[in-house]
Structures are given as C-alpha cells and as structure tokens.
Amino acid sequence: MPTANRELAIDAQGVARRFGARWVLRGISFQLQPGETVGLLGANGSGKTTLLRILGTMLRPSAGAASLCGHDVARDADAARRALGFLAHSPGLYDDLTARENLKFAAMMLGLDTGHTLDAALERVGLGAVRHERVRGFSAGMQRRLALARLLLRRARVLLLDEPYANLDAAGITLMNEVIADAGRAGGAALIVLHELAPAAGVLDRTITIVNGKAATGAAAAAPVAVEGALT
Amino acid sequence: MAFRDELRRVRAIAWKDLTTERRSKAGFNSVAALGITMLILFGFALGPDPEALRHAAAGAIWLSALFAGVLAFNRSYQVELESGALDQLLLYPGPRWSIYLGKLLANLLFVGLILVIVILVGIALFQVRIPAAWPQLLGVFVLGAVGLVVLGTFYAAMASRSRAREVLLPLLLFPMLVPLLLAAISASRALLGGDVMHEAGAWVKLLAAYDLIFLVATLWAFEYVIEA
C-alpha cells in the first residue's frame, strides 16, 4: 500500500474499478500538485466520471488507492471530503427551495456561518436578483451557476469538476474559469472532466487522457498525448 | 463543539425536508388521502355492525397508518434522488447518523400529522368511544409512531439505491414491523376496551423496548446502507 503524500493535492496509485465483470478503470496513476489545474479527457464511457466519483469518495476503487491532500478517499473519506469541492454533472439542488435556501442548507451542512456569505456567492454567480425564487423555475444554466455558488461557500483545497461548462453561456464559462483560476492562485488544485478543451484552454496546466479505461496519461495542455501507463 | 455541529446538521436536514414537503403539498395530501381511503375500505370490509367496527378500529387505524407511512418514507428519499441531491448530501463531511436523525425527525412530524388525521377519521368512521385512559392511549400512538418511523426511515434509505424501491420497501419493512404492529394494535385495543385484563402495560413495555433497540441499531447501521 503506497504511503499517502500530504504534499500532493491528488495522488492516484493504480486506481481500478469494475462494475460486475466489466473493468471501467484498469490501474490509473497520476498526481496533482497544489495549485495545478488539470483537464481529464477521454471518449464517452472511458471512465472519467467513475474516476472523479472515486476521488470524490462516492465510489470505492476495486483496486489501487487514491488520496486527497494525504487523506485516503476510501479509508479516510471524511477527512478527504473536508478538503474537497465537487461539482457533479447533476446540480444536486432541491427544486422546492429557493436559491438562497439551497445555499443556506449547504452552509449549515458544511458547518459554516450563514449570512452575508450566501448573498455574496449568489451575487458572484449572477443570481442575486433571483435569490428568493424557487430552483424549480431555473434553467439548466442557472442551476449550474447555483451549484457553482455552493462551491464558493468555502475554499476547497481540491476541486473535482464534472463537465463544469455544460449548459453555461459565454458569461458563465468565463465565470467558471475565474473561479478555477482563483482557486489555483490560492493553492487549490482542480481536476476537470472535459469533452472538449476549448472552454478550459485558458486555465489548464496540462491534461490527462483515459484511453479505454486502461491508461492515464499526462501531457502539457497545449499538446495532450496518450501514453500507456501501468496496468493492473 | 463537534456534537453541536452535528445537531446543526440534523436541524438542517429536518428543516430542508419539512420545507420541501410543505411547499410541494401534493405529498402530504396524497399520503393523507391514502390513509383515509384505507380506513374507508376496512370499514366496507367489516360491514355495518358497530360492535365489530369498534373491535377492529385499532387494527384498521394502525394498518392505514402503516400503508400511508410507506408512501411518506419513499417520498423522503425521492426528493434526494431528484437532481442528484443524494450524492451531494453524501459529499458533506461528518458522520452519516446526522443525516438519518434529521430525516427521522422530519418523518416523525410528517407521519405524526398523518397519524392524527387517520386517528380522528378512524374514531368517526368506526364509532370509537374515547376511553378514560386516553393519555395512555396517546402514549401508545406516540411509541408506535416512533417505531414505525425509525424502521421506515432506515429501510427507505436502503431501498433508495434500488430501481424497484417502491416494491422493495414494503417487502423489507413489513416483516420487521410485525412485533411493533402486534404490540401497538394489542395495546390500543386493550385501552379502547377499558383494559380490564391489565394487558396494555406489557405491550407498552414491548413497544418502548422495540423503539429503543431499533433506534440505536439503525443509528449505527445507517452509514452502511446509505453509502453506494
């Protein structure tokens, strides 16, 4: 069992996962340094979201180990969650609560003081004017912005973002990139699942590509290249 | 300090569940309607004899509450499954028992209100005479409701991960509730009949023990059933 390195924001060592008889991930290893922003690429069904869910403590790896800021995501999941900010593909909001109530709930669950932080986060994502409206009436893009506001409630050391640009307009993409860049400047690392590089081109330091769930590869953002990695 | 944080999380979950339920309204109305419909159907099945109705009242009320409760428990997690909220809920740090306790409190209030409606309608439909020992009867209803909600909330969490959750929940829950229903119906029937055999006390003790054992067990086990 590899020793977790507290210096690393993300340390994945031979992470593998299978569903039934099908191996989706077969031994993926990579590291993210604090402050680093990395795009995670791959074809549909290549295991990008599965990898993100493992790192996000929502799935256990079938083999291998991963840690966030030195905390093993399987054995020390609670500590890993304290370092984590996760933006899933689904917004995870409550339709019958207002935008502000959704944030208030998140703040209470995170043990944060509710108050001006909520309004500041809503203003930042451009939802200040609709803070008292129920989420049920929000468009997909507005729900995405609200999920982003929830991410802003605390400064996470590791951001895991699953297709964060989906449903966002140009202003929303710019806002998302500002948040990612701010996190990077503050020493936070970000791993971003992407279908296309273009929206994130300005914020990525490098990319990792999953090829048929068998290998993780790292390359400079400008020239992502798939290279065979260690297989289990 | 950490315990205070957990109580805050419990309060947050209960507040969120009750607020969404209050706003949607459809949930409460449909669950209450099911409870009342069950009572009416039991009434038809038993016939017009007032004595037979009175004798069966306790059983009819508890079974109606049970069926209505199953709908309520399923709804409690349905809200979480919409828009991937359950995953988000599990991403918050902290022990899982606070999620369970928050949902349990919200369900207790929700099912408690349904039970009040079912009892009032049951009293009217089954021509029940209010007994002198009504405070004890109230205690039986409280203990029964707690047991029902403790197990209902727990098994609804277990079933929530399954696509067949609407079918799975009653299959898991009903066998486990047999001792509770037996004790609650027997105690209620005894108290409604004046408790001439002094049997209600033993059933109440069984109810209290059931509640305590399953509350502790489910608080401990919730973490294992809610994780994927």
Output the six-digit token pair for A40: 């995670």
Q: CB pairs below 8 Å between A and B: how many? A: 77
Sign of CA dihedral A44, A48, A54, A58: negative
Rounded CA-CA distance A75/A57 in Å is 10
CA-nearest residue to A105 within chain B is B12
Per residue in B75-93, pLDDT (tens digit) is 889 888 887 899 999 999 9
Least confident of A168-177, B89-98, B189-198: B189-198
Rounded CA-CA distance A212/B108 in Å is 48
pLDDT of residue B195: 78
Q: Give me the residue from A79, A92, A108 closest to B85, CB to CB.
A: A92
Q: Which of B82, B83, B86 to mutate to test the interface with A (most CBs of A within 10 A)?
A: B83
Rounded CA-CA distance B18/B13 in Å is 9
Rounded CA-CA distance A162/A170 in Å is 18
Residues of A with Cβ-Cβ distance to B16 under 8 angstroms: 94, 97, 101, 105
- Mean residue pLDDT of chain B comes to 92
Length of chain B: 228
User: In chain A, which among 118-147 make CB contacts under 8 A with chain B?
Assistant: 134, 143
Q: How far is A3 from chain B (nearest CA, A)?
A: 23
Q: Give me the residue from B23, B84, B92 closest to A96, CB to CB.
A: B23
B95/A78 touch (CB, cutoff 8 Å), yes or no: yes
Residues of B with Cβ-Cβ distance to A88 under 8 angstroms: 84, 87-88
Rounded CA-CA distance A180/A191 in Å is 10
Q: Answer whether A166 touches B (CB < 8 Å).
A: no
Q: How far is B86 from chain A (nearest CA, A)?
A: 7
pLDDT of residue A202: 86
B5/A92 touch (CB, cutoff 8 Å), yes or no: no
B20/A90 touch (CB, cutoff 8 Å), yes or no: no
Per residue in B121-152, pLDDT (tens digit) is 999 999 998 888 899 999 999 999 999 999 99
B20/A96 touch (CB, cutoff 8 Å), yes or no: yes
Nearest to A50 by CA among A1, A104, A106, A88: A88
Q: Give me the residue from B24, B83, B93 closest to A81, CB to CB.
A: B93
Q: How far is A222 from chain B (nearest CA, A)?
A: 33
A95/B83 touch (CB, cutoff 8 Å), yes or no: yes
Q: Give me the residue from A88, A90, A109 closest to B92, CB to CB.
A: A109
B15/A59 touch (CB, cutoff 8 Å), yes or no: no
Residues of B with Cβ-Cβ distance to A86 under 8 angstroms: 88, 91
A97/B16 touch (CB, cutoff 8 Å), yes or no: yes
pLDDT of residue A224: 44
Q: Give me the residue from B15, B87, B93 closest to A92, CB to CB.
A: B87
Output the six-digit token pair for A138: 């929000």
Q: Give me the residue from A88, A92, A108 closest to B12, CB to CB.
A: A108
Low-confidence spans in chain A with pLDDT less than 50: 1-3, 220-232
- Say what angle helices B50-81 and B134-159 make with each other, to 10 degrees: 40
Residues of A with Cβ-Cβ distance to B82 under 8 angstroms: 95
Interval B156-166 mean pLDDT: 88
pLDDT of residue B187: 95
Residues B50-75 as b or e (16 or more Cβ within 10 Å = b) = eeebbebbbbbbbbbbbbbbbbbbbb
pLDDT of residue A162: 94
pLDDT of residue A215: 56
